[in-house]
Amino acid sequence: MAVPGPVSPVVPGSGSLRPLGLDAVTLTGGFWADRQRLNADAFIDHADRWITSMGWLDAFTVAAGGTRTIPLQGKLFTDADVYKLLEGMVWDEARRPDPRRAERIAEITRLIAGAQEDDGYLNTYFGPLGRDQRYTDLSHGHELYCAGHLIQAAVARLRAGIDDDLARTARRLADRICDDFGPDGRDGASDGHPVIEVAMVELYRATGERRYLEQAGRFLEGRGRNQFHRHEIGPEYYLDDLPIRDARVLRGHVVRAMYLTAGAVDYAVETGDADLLGVLEDQWANTWRARTYLTGGMGSRHLGESFGDDYELPPERAYAETCGAVGSIMVAWRLLLATGDAGYADAIERLLYNMIATHLSPDGDRIFYVNRLQQRQPAAPVPDGVAPFRKDTARANWFWVACCPTNVARLLASLSDLVASTDDQGLVVHQFASADIAATSPAGVDFRVALRTDYPWDGRVTLTVAEGSGPLRVRLRVPSWCERATVSVAGETTEAGPGYAEIDREWRPGDVVSLDIPLTPRITTPDPRIDAVRGTVAVERGPLVYCAESLDPRRPLDAVSLVGDEIREVSLEGLGDARVAVMVDAVTTGLPTPNRWPYGTPVTAGQPEPLQLTLVPYYVWSNRGPSTMRVWIPT
């Protein structure tokens, strides 16, 4: 039985903030509404065509005893990408009912349900191998990882108020897992790749069935026993080197770390475990301050798709997988709901504008997997219709491993959930996007407000009361990078620093509050412990990181240095929806001959030449063809 609640991916039983849900927050225009529309109108269908052509849907037909008609490409965990895309379809259809989308959800659900075995087990790789092969490779088999993503898709369906075959199939599988891994079943951690933990907690929240919460707890507490097959980087690859409560920082495989942490936050909130929640807050803080790129990306080592040591953040070898950004948003959103700390909303903003926005091309048919911060040589373009196995390429139509695009599809479909929430006093706005918001005051009065902005190009945000009268506290986030914002309401203007600006008053229809956030471009210097970028600076404007990009191989960015700290804004056209570039004073010099021994006394080739260097938002780089790029520029 479904438990009523907001149409939201995360519905905690307690915490400082409460989600409003997709039915209460509607994006109406601007930067993020455009991307949600691109996702709905182009990218979800693009992904659907690719998972079909790769044979990932056909795998369910084969598992049900049918005949394969499309050759299977990809690894043994392709089920998960079907489930993530299905979740994106469900959120999209819940947000904007569409008979065509509903029919496609039903078609894919029939394939999935048809492949489920009579005892509830479901996996298109291990299932056809026979019952004796189940759970024989928990290190790398991804059985419970796949199951977790099916459960999350089913939770989306339940949250949308539909208890159908998708929800029933997922519950049967969850019950099978509880029987196999419960008190009388297998001992220890669940799967080398976490996600079953967060899925089980959300299924508990959506159904009220406590055994799912208890099973999530067993999986979480079983971590830290060094029980998986040895990986090249050690047991931390699986987050199995230490019990969760003993770790000081996130480590190992980034996506695994984020999914496990999201599940642990959910579990701590539902069980009232304040000690565990505090540990997880510290782990996030230590990771964010010392193991995170300027873009919000995480993962500096390609080996193991993993974190490096503290301050090990080389720009040209950044892995910074898009999936890691989605996982980071999952964690930050949960911590924000639990604590109300604006710093988590700041993190989400950085991740959205500089990682998620970077993923998709303007037409929604090409995607990044890895997000480096420096490109020394132009990457060879990937031909149309090719899904590369390598991940550190230019944007491609698809990838042989497609965890990232399906993850972004489900995030964009549910994106409006991140804009605002409520607390015990009223409405809290976290992200700036034009949206219509419905919320109920503590006194039980229904309010409807219109949030309008041209952010991130313009820093004015207005909130207008359309319906509702009475007392309500409205809080608007002031980003941590903003030193002096102003808030205006009823003819009075006050200054507001980083955190949340509060307006507590009696509201009437037509009342307007304006938040003005200066978007002056700024020079950002790295911590001196980040050796890879010592002696360089970056430029940011508002939430956007900027970069230098060269499409001319005869003008290498290796020879460019900034001079002074003057930054001028200039109009930008022809790069998607980006409208503001910045120009800085620089010099360029010739480079030593390539056959010269690269060490010794300083060598320059020619006199420095002045250069007006134009920087563009990082999220649009590589959209004009093969190019070199760098975020951190020598001074």
Q: Got the DSSP string for 421-439?
A: EE-SSEEEE-S--EEEEEE
456: cis peptide before it, omega within 30°?
yes
Whole-angstrom distance, CA of residue 17 vs CA of residue 11: 10
Name the percent of the chain lying above pLDDT 90.
90
Looking at residue 604, its pLDDT comes to 67
Q: What is the pLDDT of residues 299-344, one digit of tens each?
A: 999 999 999 999 999 999 999 999 999 999 999 999 999 999 999 9
Q: Which of 338, 336, 337 is nearest to 347 (CA)?
A: 336
- Residue 83: pLDDT band (50, 70, 90) is very high
pLDDT band at 605 (very low <50, low <70, confident <90, very high): low
The model carries a pTM of: 0.98
Q: For position 421, what pLDDT does the model report? A: 98
Assign domain 420-516 one CATH number from 2.60.40, 2.40.128, 3.40.462, 1.10.3470: 2.60.40
Residue 377 has pLDDT above 70, yes or no: yes
Q: For the chain, report the end-to-end CA distance as a whole number of angstroms.
A: 62
Question: What is the pLDDT at residue 532?
Answer: 97
Confidence of residue 346 (pLDDT cuts 50, 70, 90): very high
Cβ proximity of 621 and 395 under 8 Å = no
Q: With bands split at pLDDT 50, 70 and 90, how would you rate the model's confidence at 592?
A: confident
Domains 18-418 and 420-516 share a fold: no
User: SS in 3 state form for 84-112?
Assistant: HHHHHHHHHHHHCCCHHHHHHHHHHHHHH
Q: What's the sign of the alpha-carbon dihedral 411, 459, 456, 627?
A: negative
At 591, the pLDDT band (50, 70, 90 cuts) reads confident
pLDDT at 608: 84
Condensed to tens digits (0 to 9), the pLDDT of residues 519-528 reads 999 999 999 9
Specify the pLDDT at position 555.
79
Mean pLDDT value of segment 428-436 = 98
- Across 372-382, average pLDDT: 92
- Give the whole-angstrom CA distance, residue 45 versus residue 48: 5
Between 597 and 493, name the one with better pLDDT.
493
Q: Which two tokens stand for residue 413?
A: 């479909």
Lowest mean per-residue pLDDT among 75-79, 143-147, 494-498, 572-576: 572-576
Residue 602: in which H helix or E strand, if any? none
pLDDT for 601: 81
pLDDT digits over 542-590, tens only?
A: 999 999 999 887 777 998 999 999 999 999 998 999 999 999 999 998 7
Q: What's the residue count for the chain?
A: 635
Measure the CA–CA gap between 541 and 569, rounded to whole angstroms: 10
CA R_g for the chain:
25
Task: Specify the pLDDT at position 76.
Answer: 96
What's the CATH code, domain 18-418? 1.50.10.20
Angle at the Cα of 505 (from 504 to 508), degrees rounded to 5? Answer: 135
pLDDT at 241 over 90: yes
pLDDT value at 266 more than 70: yes
Backbone dihedral region for residue 18 (phi beyond 0: left; psi -120 to 50: alpha; all else: beta)? beta
Q: Is the pLDDT of residue 1 over 70?
A: no
Q: What mean pLDDT is predicted for residues 589-618? A: 84
Which residues, at least 6 apart from 214, have a Cβ–Cβ distance to it below 8 Å?
Answer: none
Categorize the per-residue pLDDT at 423 as very low, low, confident or very high, splitting at 50, 70 and 90. very high
Residue 58 has pLDDT above 90, yes or no: yes
Strand blocks (E) in 32-186: none
pLDDT of 595 strictly over 80: no
Q: Are the C-beta atoms of 245 and 279 separated by less than 8 Å?
A: yes
Evaluate if residue 215 carries a pLDDT over 80. Answer: yes
Asked whether residue 462 carries a pLDDT value surpassing 70, the answer given is: yes
At 4 the pLDDT is 82
Question: Is residue 495 scored above 90 in pLDDT?
Answer: yes
The single-letter code of the amino acid at 563 is V
Report pLDDT for 5: 86
Query: Could you tell me if 144 and 177 are in contact, meaning their C-beta atoms sit under 8 angstroms apart?
Result: yes
Mean pLDDT confidence for 366-395: 91
Checking if the pLDDT of 392 tops 90, the result is: no
Separation between Cα atoms, residue 537 and residue 534, nearest integer Å: 8
From residue 56, give the alpha-carbon distance in Å to each of 60, 377, 430. Answer: 8, 34, 37
pLDDT above 90 for 606? no
Helix axes 322-339, 403-413, angle to 10 degrees: 40
pLDDT of 405 strictly over 80: yes
And the tokens for 391?
Answer: 């991940």
What average pLDDT does this structure show over 112-124? 98
Query: What are the residue boundaries of the structural domains of the chain, listed by start?
Result: 18-418, 420-516, 522-634
Q: What is the DSSP string of 255-300?
A: HHHHHHHHHHHHHHHHHT-HHHHHHHHHHHHHHHHHSB-TTS-B--
Nearest to 377, CA basis, from 556, 546, 533? 556
Specify the long-range contacts of residues 574-580, CB closer than 8 Å, at least 24 apart. 574/624, 575/616, 575/617, 575/620, 575/623, 575/624, 576/362, 576/620, 576/623, 577/31, 577/34, 577/362, 578/616, 578/617, 578/619, 578/620, 579/457, 580/457, 580/541, 580/617
How crowded is the C-beta side of 380, counted as CA atoms within 13 Å? 6
